Structure formats: structure tokens, C-alpha cells
Structure 1
């Protein structure tokens, strides 16, 4: 078997094949979350550094872009949809708002109280809020917890 075929098979198992294995789902969630985090950070950077918007407001704009990206990727490769899209996205966003509140608190503590730069503080917040978002969304939004074949 050639190396390209092995790589494709590994990719298929890690990203595409249906699974209810929490470890594989978490790996896929990291891909989705990583992509959404990049979108979030770019928006935060643009609004805060280039447009001069307050960092907490800029973080909220980044959140909106990130949560939309995250939901889209999650429904494609991480979890199987089991509800109407409006209901599902509403629950997904509601949990995301909880994550946003945690993020804003962490940013405020690190930036205003500890003097840590905004972008580094945001990375810390992402790392701290990641697990909470995954388990809340798995439990309350995607109860079936199976990946989708794309």
C-alpha cells in the first residue's frame, strides 16, 4: 500500500468516518475550535489593533465570527445534527455566550489586573474555555454525538 493511500485512510478515520468515540470527537472539535479561534483572533486583532475598538468589545465581535465558524465546522465533521437547525444553533450559541462571559472575565483579569497583553490573554482564555464548551455542547446540543460523513 502506498503512502498516499495510508494518509488518506488515516484522514478518513480521523476526520470523516462516523464515530461516537469521544476522543476522536474531541480531536475533531480541536480542529473546528482551532479554525474558529484563528477567525476569532483575526477579528479581535483587526478591531483592537487596527480600528482602536475597546478590547472587550473587539473580543465580542471576534466571538460572533468564531462561534459561527465553529458551529459550521462542528455540524460538518464533529457531531451529527439531531435537531432543527434554528434550535440547534440557538443552544450552540447560548453555550457559546457562556464561554464568552468566561472569556471576557479572563481577559479583564489578565489585561486590567495583571497587565498581560490582550492577544496573549485571549490565547489563555481560549485554552481555559475550550473544554467547558466541548462538554456542554456534546451534552446539551449534540446529544447523539456522532460525526457526520461529508
Structure 2
């Protein structure tokens, strides 16, 4: 339970990074949401990985560093696909605001990220 709470904090920091950058570039500057969301998701994944190995998981416990990082990005690629699908559905189909859509998409992938990392990577 403590590890989940730590991950909630780490995920929150990564989510703030993801949502904040998304809002700046897609919302404020008007850049296309699709490529912006991919770029901010990748940046947030790096932030999440760095903070996770510092505060939540033991790095190198199961795999060497290179395999571990590759596994994190593989798992995150699946999460990115879900993220993009939720964004498309909420922005293009339902007409929701960019920020609301991004928060919903980020929340949708939070638990996938935690459980996949805790079960398969660390």
C-alpha cells in the first residue's frame, strides 16, 4: 500500500508535467493536440521513470538498466495508445475541452502504468 501511495505521488508529478506541457502547447499555443500529446506523454514517462526508481521501485532488481528502460517504454507505448484513443474520443467525438480530455486520459492510464510496472518490470 505504501508503494502505491508513493507511486500516486510520482504519477501526480509526471501527470502535472504531461498535462501542463500539453496545455501550454496544445491549449495556449494552439499546436495540434495529437503530436503534442505524444511528445508530452514521452517526456512525462521519462519523469515518471526517474522518480519511480528513486522513490517507488528498486531499479535493476529484475532486469539490467537497459532492459528495464526498454520495458518501461514498451508498457508506456500501450498506455500511449489508450491515451490517444481517449483523447480522440473525448476531443473529436464528444467535443470536450482539451484540458478536461487530457485529465481523463491521464487518469485512465494511471493504474495500467502502476500495475504493469510493479508486476512486469520492477
Please tell me the TM-score bracket, short chain as reference: over 0.9
Whole-angstrom distance in 2 between the partners of 1:96 and 1:30: 16
Question: What SS does the aligned partner of 1:107 have?
Answer: helix
Are the counterparts in 2 of residues 106 and 121 from structure 1 also a CA contact under 8 Å?
A: yes
- Runs of 4+ aligned structure 1 residues displaced above 6 Å come to none
Whole-angstrom distance in 1 between the partners of 2:112 and 2:85: 15
Give how far 1:42 is off. 1.7
Alignment equivalent of 2:92, drawn from 112, 134, 139: 112
Q: Which residue of 1 aligns with 2:41?
A: 63
Q: Which residue of 2 aligns with 1:141?
A: 121
Q: How does 1:1-150 map to 2 (within 5 A)?
A: 23-81=1-59, 82=61, 83-142=63-122
The normalised TM-score by structure 2 is: 0.93
Are the counterparts in 2 of residues 47 and 53 from structure 1 also a CA contact under 8 Å?
A: yes
Find the structure with the greater CA-based Rg. Answer: 1
Two-structure CA RMSD over aligned residues (Å)? 1.0
The normalised TM-score by structure 1 is: 0.77
Whole-angstrom distance in 2 between the partners of 1:98 and 1:48: 22
Whole-angstrom distance in 2 between the partners of 1:121 and 1:49: 11
Whole-angstrom distance in 1 between the partners of 2:95 and 2:31: 18
Give how far 1:31 is off. 0.6
Give how far 1:131 is off. 0.8
Whole-angstrom distance in 2 between the partners of 1:129 and 1:49: 21
Whole-angstrom distance in 2 between the partners of 1:87 and 1:118: 34
Give structure 2 stretches of 5+ with no counterpart: none
